[in-house]
Structure 1
Amino acid sequence: MSIIIAGHFQLQDEAEAARRALLDAGFNAERTSTFYLSQPGQHDMTPIGGDHIQSPGAKETPVGVLQGSATGGAVGAAVGAVTAPLTGPAGPIVGGLVGAHVGSLFSFSKMKEAGEREQGGRAPTEQRMAGMLVAVAFDDAGQESQAVDLLRRLGAVQIERARGNIVEGDWADFDASSPPDILH
């Protein structure tokens, strides 16, 4: 595995200028990659699309639905049983169903707020930005500062360091959902 320095650019022309500048600086064309990176969550990494089978902020929702339904159903059935002289035999059944439905809404309290850090998760600012990505791989650690300085001067919005392989212009082991090591 090689060291990879990648810069994020908003425009394709900027990314192409950065790629040319890396080549002019002596970096190997075969070990340089330029590609568009879509928004987090839109990398189509699962069979049904997206980056995760389940929304990361909704992991605890099924537990909340079950807890709320059970509690609400029991309370509703109890209230229905107490009011049975007025509502008849359907009171406990309707009360249980209404209580279960209302109780299932408790699951919303188990969901994370937008941008809220999940236990063991990463904050939204630790994600890669959408846009053009220009990456260069090299084995000599001395080239790292040269690549970072060059991308910074060319206006990279974000610069990150990674380990991996770029072969014939393709960053073969790139994982869009992995947390980036942001340098700038």
Structure 2
Amino acid sequence: MSKIIGAHFQLQEETDRAREALVAAGFPDDRISNFFVSDAGQHAVTPIGGDHIVSPGAKESPEGAAKGMATGGAIGAALGAATVPVTGPLGPVIGGLVGAHVGSLYSFSHMKEAGEQEDGSVANQVEPRRGGMMVAVAVDGQSEQKAIDIFRQLGTHHIERAEGTIENRDWRDFNPVSVPDWV
């Protein structure tokens, strides 16, 4: 396992230029890897697809819906009971059902928006890895800064540091859902 410096690019031509610049600077060609990284949620690392078995923002949904239904049902039943002289014995029942429905819908307003992170999540503390082309190179202590400088000269602002194995142009143990260590 070695230290790896990876940079994100948008175009294939940019990754080709990066590989050429790294080889010209003395990095072995078989220790440089070019590949495409999918956007978050599209890595199919679980048996059912996706990145996680449970969607990160949805774990509070059943609890929130239950609270909303209970509160709305109680309020609706109380209001329905007040209308018994007009609606008869069905007033509290219908009021409770309508209140439970409205309460469950209200609970959706407290759910997280698409892409919003969990409170206290590590993802809140770092910029996530974006989809696109990536070039990674295995480095040692002396060549790490040289690789970073080459990537910066080529115009990328998303450079990360990792540990892994690149052999025959393949970063075999790359984990697309890992939290990037940005340089």
Q: What TM-score, normalized to structure 1?
A: 0.88
Q: CA deviation at 1:49?
A: 2.7
Alignment partner of 1:160: what SS?
strand
- CA drift of 1:180 comes to 0.9
| Same amino acid, percent of matched pairs | 59
**What is the aligned partner in structure 2 of residue 32 from structure 1?**
32
Which shows bigger deviation, 22-31 or 90-99? 22-31
Q: Where does the alignment leave 5 or more consecutive residues of structure 1 unmatched? A: none
Amino acid at match of 2:51: D
Q: Which runs of 4+ in 1 moved over 6 A?
A: none
Question: Which residue does 2:75 correspond to in 1?
Answer: 75
Q: Give, in whole Å, the separation in 2 of the partners of 1:43 and 1:81.
A: 53
Q: Helix, strand or coil for the counterpart of 1:173?
A: coil
C-alpha RMSD of the superposition = 2.0
Asked whether the 8 Å contact 1:33–1:135 carries over to 2, the reply is yes
Given the alignment of the two structures, is residue 94 of structure 1 paired with residue 127 of structure 2, yes or no? no
The Cα of 1:157 is off from its aligned counterpart by: 3.5
Number of residues of Structure 1 aligned to a counterpart in Structure 2: 182
Cα separation, 2, equivalents of 1:32 and 1:84: 77
Structure 2: unaligned runs, 5 residues or longer? none
Partner of 2:146: 146
Tell me how far 1:80 sits from its aligned partner.
Answer: 1.6
Q: Equivalents in 2 of 1:106, 1:54: separation in Å?
A: 22
Cα shift at 1:59: 2.5
**Separation in 2 of the partners of 1:117 and 1:37?**
21
CA distance in 2, matches of 1:141, 1:62: 50
Q: Take 2:53 and 2:115, find their aligned partners in 1: how far apart are those partners? A: 19
The Cα of 1:67 is off from its aligned counterpart by 0.5
**Residue 38 and residue 124 in structure 1: after superposition, are their counterparts in 2 closer, same or farther (change >3 A)?**
farther
Take 2:136 and 2:19, find their aligned partners in 1: how far apart are those partners? 8
Secondary structure (helix, strand or coil) at the match of 1:57 reads coil
Q: Residue 134 of structure 2 corresponds to which residue in structure 1?
A: 133
Instruction: Give the C-alpha shift of residue 113 in structure 1.
Output: 4.1
- Paired with 1:116 and 1:11, the residues of 2 have a C-alpha distance of 28
1:36-75 alignment to 2 at 5 Å? 36-75=36-75
TM-score, normalised to structure 2, is: 0.89
For the residues of structure 2 that align with 1:45 and 1:96, how far apart are their CA atoms?
43
Q: Is the 8 A contact 2:81 2:91 kept in 1?
A: yes
3-state SS, counterpart of residue 177 of structure 1: coil
Check if 1:14 corresponds to 2:14.
Answer: yes
